[in-house]
Amino acid sequence: GQQLNQSPQSMFIQEGEDVSMNCTSSSIFNTWLWYKQDPGEGPVLLIALYKAGELTSNGRLTAQFGITRKDSFLNISASIPSDVGIYFCAGRLYNQGGKLIFGQGTELSVKP
């Protein structure tokens, strides 16, 4: 089936550092979403992207929809301890209705 390759799988950073993670696919997506999951909770939407080239920010988070429609990245600036969690990208293929495909997740650890 369709897969999203998300990298890196995990990151250990110092508080205050910037973080970057990305997702790539061999297929073209018409929507890219970024979620964060805290331990014991469901994924929570961070940013949604609907157009190729779109760059969207949400506070310290910035995400972009790749020009080729096959990739997306998420940047977190000036990380803080509460940024800890697992970040997932998700994409929606054309003609797939409401179905999303999720990346494997990036586990972020922030050292105070």
Partner 1 sequence: DAGVIQSPRHEVTEMGQEVTLRCKPISGHDYLFWYRQTMMRGLELLIYFNNNVPIDDSGMPEDRFSAKMPNASFSTLKIQPSEPRDSAVYFCASSRTSSGETQYFGPGTRLLVL
Kindly state whether residue 44 participates in binding partner 1, applying the rule CB under 8 A.
yes
Kindly state whether residue 51 participates in binding partner 1, applying the rule CB under 8 A.
no
Q: What's the CA gap between 90 and 31, in Å, rounded?
A: 8
| Triad 24, 1, 65: Cα angle to 5° | 25
Kindly state whether residue 99 participates in binding partner 1, applying the rule CB under 8 A.
yes
Q: CB-side exposure of 92: number of CA atoms within 13 Å?
A: 15
Q: Which of 28, 45, 55, 80 binds partner 1 (CB under 8 A)?
A: 45
Kindly state whether residue 33 participates in binding partner 1, applying the rule CB under 8 A.
yes
Q: What's the CA gap between 3 and 12, in Å, rounded?
A: 25
Residues that bind partner 1 (CB under 8 A): 30-31, 33, 35, 40-45, 48, 50, 88, 92, 96-105
